C-alpha cells in the first residue's frame, strides 16, 4: 500500500471472470488479489494482484442479482472500459462503502 493509503474493507470473494480472490477497498483504489486454496489442509495462498483500479477511474457502481447477489463496477482502463462483478457477502454495505470512498477521493 502507498503512503497515506488506508484499507477500508476487505473480503474473500469470487469475480465472474477472474475467479476466487480477495477484494480490497482502500481510500485510493480497488484491488483484487487471486488466491488458491487447498481443501486437504485448509490453507489459502495469495497470488498476484490482477486488478488495481484507482477510485478516480471508476465510472459506475451498482449491485445486481436475486439469488446470487453481486456488487459491480465499471472503470476506465488503458484498453477501454471494463466491468467487474464480485460475489461478496453484503452487497448493500459494499455499494455504500465504494460510493463513499469515491466521493472522498474526488474531494
Q: List, for residues 53-72, the tens digit of each pLDDT value.
A: 999 999 999 999 988 899 99
- H or E stretch at 101: helix 91-106
Per the CB < 8 A criterion, the answer to whether 12 and 35 are in contact is yes
pLDDT for residue 94 is more than 90: yes
Neighbours of 89 (CB within 10 A): 10
Q: How confident is the model at residue 2 (pLDDT cuts 50, 70, 90)?
A: confident
Is 7-106 a domain of CATH 2.60.120.10? no
pTM of the predicted model, to two decimals? 0.88
Amino acid at each position: 500500500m502507498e503512503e497515506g493509503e488506508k484499507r477500508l474493507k476487505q473480503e474473500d470473494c469470487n469475480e465472474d471472470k477472474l475467479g476466487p480472490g480477495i477484494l480490497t477497498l482502500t481510500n485510493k483504489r480497488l484491488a483484487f488479489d487471486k488466491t488458491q486454496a487447498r481443501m486437504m489442509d485448509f490453507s489459502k495462498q495469495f497470488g498476484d494482484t490482477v486488478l488495481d483500479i484507482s477510485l478516480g477511474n471508476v465510472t459506475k457502481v451498482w449491485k445486481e442479482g436475486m439469488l446470487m447477489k453481486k456488487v459491480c463496477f465499471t472503470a476506465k482502463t488503458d484498453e477501454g472500459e471494463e466491468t467487474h462483478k464480485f460475489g461478496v457477502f453484503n452487497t448493500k454495505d459494499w455499494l455504500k462503502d465504494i460510493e463513499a470512498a469515491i466521493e472522498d477521493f474526488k474531494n
